Homo-oligomer: A and B are copies of this chain.
Amino acid sequence: MKEITASVITVGTEILFGLILDTNSQFISNALTGIGVRVVLKSSVGDERKKILEMLKYASTKSTLVLITGGLGPTNDDITKKCLSEFFDSPLQMNPGALEEVSAYFAKRGIPLTEINRKQAEMPQLARMITNEMGTAPGMWLEKNGRVFISMPGVPHEMHHMLMTRVIPDIRGKYQTPVIQHKLIMTAGIGESWLAERISGWEKNLPGHISLAYLPGYGQVKLRLTGTSDDAGALQAELNEISNDLGKIIPEYIYGADGLTLEERIGQILTVRQENISLAESCTGGYIGHLLTTVPGSSRYFTGGLIAYHNDIKTGQLAVSEVTLLKYGAVSEETVREMAAGCRKLFNTHYAIATSGIAGPSGGSPEKPVGTIWMAVADESGTVTRKIIIPKDRINTIRYASVASLILFWQRISQKTGTAT
């Protein structure tokens, strides 16, 4: 089986200035590696004709595939398309399919198509259009002398969608690549190093053709098993068996597999039980609500929430006693306990989560430093609480605290006994 190689080129002067972090090329490399394509070069060039042309030429000598992002916007500084036209000696012309899709995009939004956007449907004659479902700049697939050039927009969510739904399937359709399979095991409530210690015996026994990576996130670690083989069926069975073995070692930390998010898992559990939940968010400011509502169909079990930023709302709508607030303060076990109970009553739900903490950068004290977060989960049988201290910046503290609250909730409803976050 012939190895397929790829170069990844990101276009944009702002990348060379260091004004933005190029995350696109990592995303693309990861996806290509996942289908057995070997990335041999990553490069960024500015929005300059000469530099882009030089790089197209260089990359075409290094790999079979050349994937390019950026420079497809409607403004004058976006010149990738012109460069591809020149490089392939293939004049720009209106692509009827692309024009149709750009027009439909605008029609759907009820906005007239401007001349500048109409031009986004122009592409080199030999290019095949790649649909952009997320924006107005179509992608392009160009082939010449056994080399394939794929041009995608630089806006990350547009590129991600186009890559995963169009480009990767088309590459797989064109080339026979060795079988590489991944299996993700989703854990929550245990840190990376503790997890590594707990599963070191299992890790040591992994066969040579299967590797393990730890992908840590907020309070969660994804374990990725990657196997290579010529036999897809046998590899899949092997990966399943190995992940089942792990399930017996750390059942209390595994909530799912294959990219399931914790908020999706929570949604599954609540949907099956026909139960619902409400939120009383102080320091997390609405972010737990955001996490829950990213899941389609969350309206079935998420009734609503109160962002109780000001103390008046804690005492008023959540019925936290003024004595509690005075005696223990807003950031205390007693307060979150009453918030959760009050929230459950206010929204008339089976469960309620409450948070209160100091997100910083100011507002801390020796007893309650910045990053101190109290959280509570109330249900019919009572309320559980947890305190964590998060030594991060404001935004990361808010996001970490939100995930930690969901972990506490998941542990509660699934009777898990883990406590580390």
Q: A residues touching B (Cβ–Cβ < 8 Å)?
A: 13-23, 25-33, 38-47, 51, 54-55, 58, 62, 73-77, 105, 108-110, 114, 116-117, 134, 155, 157, 161, 182, 192-194, 196-197, 203, 211-216, 224, 226, 279, 281, 285-290, 292-294, 296-299, 302-310, 312-313, 317, 347, 359-362, 369, 388-396, 398
Known: A281-B289, A289-B286. A19 touches B114 (CB 8 A): no
B394 touches A296 (CB 8 A): yes
Write the chain B residue with the least CB distance to A203. Answer: B76
A310 touches B299 (CB 8 A): yes
Known: A30-B19, A110-B389, A216-B155. A75 touches B196 (CB 8 A): yes
B290 touches A286 (CB 8 A): yes
Which residues of B have CB within 8 Å of A44? 25, 41-43
10 pairs of residues in contact across A and B, judged by CB atoms under 8 Å: A16-B39, A17-B39, A22-B22, A40-B46, A75-B193, A77-B214, A105-B391, A109-B388, A296-B360, A299-B309
Distance of A278 from chain B, by nearest CB (Å): 9
Which residues of B have CB within 8 Å of A43? 41-44
Q: Which 6 A-B pairs have the closest CB atoms?
A: A286-B289, A285-B293, A18-B30, A286-B286, A18-B29, A305-B307
Known: A290-B290, A304-B308. 8 other contacts (CB 8 A): A15-B26, A43-B43, A74-B192, A155-B216, A287-B287, A287-B289, A299-B309, A303-B312
Interchain CA distance A418-B39 in the complex, whole Å: 46
B114 touches A293 (CB 8 A): no
Partner of A193, one of B20, B110, B114, B211: B114
Interchain CA distance A195-B284 in the complex, whole Å: 35
Write the chain B residue with the least CB distance to A12. Answer: B213
Q: How many copies make up the complex?
A: 2
A213 touches B299 (CB 8 A): no
Known: A40-B16, A290-B290, A398-B290. A212 touches B77 (CB 8 A): yes
B114 touches A197 (CB 8 A): yes
Known: A41-B44, A216-B155. A74 touches B292 (CB 8 A): no
Partner of A18, one of B26, B161, B310, B398: B26
B287 touches A192 (CB 8 A): no
Which residues of B have CB within 8 Å of A369? 108
B134 touches A393 (CB 8 A): yes
Write the chain B residue with the least CB distance to A389. Answer: B109
Distance of A340 from chain B, by nearest CB (Å): 16
Known: A77-B213, A391-B109. A290 touches B287 (CB 8 A): yes
Which residues of B have CB within 8 Å of A117? 193
Write the chain B residue with the least CB distance to A136. Answer: B193
Interchain CA distance A35-B27 in the complex, whole Å: 31
Partner of A58, one of B16, B58, B77, B306: B58
Distance of A231 from chain B, by nearest CB (Å): 21
Distance of A67 from chain B, by nearest CB (Å): 12
Which residues of B have CB within 8 Å of A18? 25-33, 39
Interchain CA distance A39-B13 in the complex, whole Å: 9
Interchain CA distance A302-B282 in the complex, whole Å: 11
Interchain CA distance A108-B361 in the complex, whole Å: 15
Interchain CA distance A398-B20 in the complex, whole Å: 24
Known: A16-B39, A285-B293. A108 touches B391 (CB 8 A): yes
